[in-house]
Amino acid sequence: MLELNAQTIAFFIFALFALGGALGVVTSRNLIHGALYLIVSLFGGAGFFVLLSAPFMAVVQVLVYIGAIAILIIFAVMLTRGMTQMSEILNRQWWMSAIVGVLLFVMLGLGVILPVWGENGINPNRPVSDNVATTEDLGVALVDGNQYVLPFQVASLLLTGAMIGAIVLARDTE
Amino acid sequence: MEQQCINVIQTMAPCLTSSGVDPGLAQFISILIGVVLVALFPLVLVILLIWMERKVAARVQDRLGPNRVGPFGLFQNIADALKLIIKEDITPAGADRTIFNLAPIIATLSTTMMWAVIPFSPVNIGVDLSIGVLYFTAIGSIGTLAIMMAGWSSNNKYALLGAFRVVAALVSYEVPMVLALLVPVMIAGTLSMQSLVVAQQGMWFIVPAFVSALLFYISNLAETGRAPFDLIEAESELVAGYNIEYSGMKFGLFMANEFMHAFTANLLFAVIFLGGWSGPGATEVPLLGFIYLFLKTGALYIPSLILRATVPRVRIDQMMGFNWKFLVPVAIVNVVVVAFLLQVTKALGIAPVPGETDFLANLPQALVLFVGNLLTIAVALEMIRRFGRQARSETSGAAVVIAEAHDVPSAAH
């Protein structure tokens, strides 16, 4: 079932990036190192998108998450120098995040395994969805009245609200 | 067999296969040679670019420039590179060694990887990604990360301050750049670099989208750290900026990357707005396309060198104000205006059918968009003129107040 071709090798390299980076994020005491590991992990995620033939998502992952969000995280961490070195890896809420983490893992595991379990699992090479969408389809879907125009508008409104909020917070009191 | 080996540049893999090599291996060899060529080309070209930059800067300043090593001083940079390589490699105490060493590599990588999507000729392109335009924007943003890493890992206050300033500026100037790129993408209806060039066969995009071209050029000056936005290297205030602790070839990589990035930016401009490889006979003889592309890039690059040697540096607050208060609003208005006019031309039926390569068929739409661009730029210039006049009257008023408060003759009178 698992044949060793270029795609499989690439998948394992990206998986190594994603998981190794994620492990680095939670184990490093230096917050800057943590942020850089996060970038490695996100890069692995971008690689998965490429393997899934979703180049637009891969590039957006690099552009938005690595190019903007991760850099802003590093920016914020550097400005608060006292926070850069942490004395302990765990804080008092570790058990809560452990429960949430395990629950999330179980949910994701079920979500991945159930669609190909039992009768669906007879042909493992059958794609989960028959739709092959291009970047153009994605663009049309976001502005088409019958598809995702409302979620798109709501998300835009939320972002605008967040942006105005940031400006209000950052502005000098006059 | 002879049929496939006539033009090895275009049909490397089939040619190898027909001479008895395993198809998978032939494919691999062909891709490998392509990758090595595309990646090596900018790295070798940069030696020539630095020579050119020094010569042009010298002429502007009424000097001779390098003229001792080799003919016209051409080998000066090879000598310099040798010097940089054999210099002692110093890592400052307290530096974060891994990140410190990684930063110049990532900086160079980010520029070199952009070359993967540049169409050099109708057939020669590293990889024609369906999202090529977004790809080079995304890869370019990784360069910002390299500067941040270099500034932080050096364990030096000046380096960190320099990195802060530069990263804030680079992240800001990405906004008008991406918005400017949206316009040619809208006109061509594609994100692939090769299709963008093909869409310009009839009309170069600098005509229907010259506001975008201007915005792209200005934000690229800032992204590549060229004058008047060369705050990356502010010797006067931050000693050197983010790369202060770097020495030897690691510094050399940062420097080479800066020149390479500036050239790449002009190359991208030529591809997106000046028709890339298109020109008479380029589709029949791919080599001609390659020559056209580099002639166009050179025509852009040499004025940018003169510009760099001529204009003074702006302050960081002026640079940020110019971006957020002028470039970004103009870029947003430009996108809206072009989108509207594109629909209008479509409704009027004067839009060319996609793939139209005739100049006259493309002319009506281009003219409508050109007029729209003129209006945008006229309104923008009028607004900036008013703003400037107001700012000047305020400052001269303030000068009077200060002068009266100190009871000295005012310079404003």
* Partner-chain contact A67 B148, CB within 8 Å: no
User: Which residue, B73, B71, B54, B72, is CA-closest to B63?
Assistant: B54
CB contact under 8 A, A36 and B99: yes
Strand extents, DSSP E, B62-178: none
Residues of B in contact with A62 (CB under 8 A): 138-139, 141-142
CA distance, residue B189 to nearest chain A CA (Å): 9
CA-based nearest distance B208→chain A, Å: 23
Q: Is a pLDDT exceeding 50 seen at residue A151? A: yes
**ipTM of the shown complex:** 0.79
Integer CA distances (angstroms), B70 to B53, B80, B200, B298, in order: 17, 13, 41, 23
A63-77, B60-74, B346-360, B368-382: segment of lowest average pLDDT: B346-360
Which residue from A minimizes the CA distance to B157? Answer: A78
One DSSP character per residue, B293-321 reads HHHHHHHHHHHHHHHHHHSPPPPHHHHHH
- Closest residue on chain B to A74 (Cα): B148
B343-382 residues labelled b (16+ CB within 10 A) or e (exposed): eebeeeeebbeeebeeeeebbebbebbbebbeebeeebee
pLDDT(B173) > 80: yes
What whole-number percentage of chain B has pLDDT above 90?
9
Nearest CB neighbour to B167, from listed A60, A75, A134? A75
**Residue B144: its chain A contacts at CB < 8 A?**
67, 71
CB-nearest to A67 from B99, B138, B149 is B138
Residues of chain A with Cβ-Cβ distance to B168 below 8 Å are: 75
What is the reported pLDDT for B413? 44
A62 vs B142: CB contact, 8 Å cut-off?
Answer: yes
Residue B407: pLDDT band (50, 70, 90) is low
Mean pLDDT for B139-163 is 85
Contact at CB, B141 and A66, closer than 8 angstroms: yes
Each residue's pLDDT tens digit, B42-87: 888 888 888 888 888 898 888 888 888 878 888 888 888 888 888 8
Closest chain B C-alpha to A101 CA, distance in angstroms: 29
Residues B197, B54: Cα–Cα separation, whole Å: 32
B148–A71 CB contact, under 8 Å: yes
Could you tell me the pLDDT band of residue A84, with boundaries at 50, 70 and 90?
low
Q: How far apart are the first and last CA of chain A?
A: 67
Give the model's pLDDT for residue A19.
93
* Chain A, nearest residue to B175 by Cα: A68
Q: Cα Rg for chain B, rounded, in angstroms? A: 24
Contacts 24+ apart (CB under 8 A), B60-67: B60/B306, B60/B309, B60/B310, B61/B309
Please tell me the predicted confidence (pLDDT) of residue B404: 58
Residues of A in contact with B160 (CB under 8 A): 78
* Mutate: best of A53, A71, A132, A137, partner B, most B CBs <10 A: A71
Closest CA to B214 of B329, B331, B132, B306: B331
Q: Is the pLDDT of residue B155 over 50?
A: yes
Average pLDDT estimate for B153-166: 83
Tokens at residue B28, please?
Answer: 């691999």
Mutate to test the interface with A, among B98, B110, B127, B152 (most CBs of A within 10 A): B152
CB contact under 8 A, A55 and B138: no
Closest CA to B197 of B135, B264, B122: B122
Q: Is the pLDDT of residue B384 over 90?
A: no
Q: Which of B99, B145, B178 to mutate to test the interface with A (most CBs of A within 10 A)?
A: B145
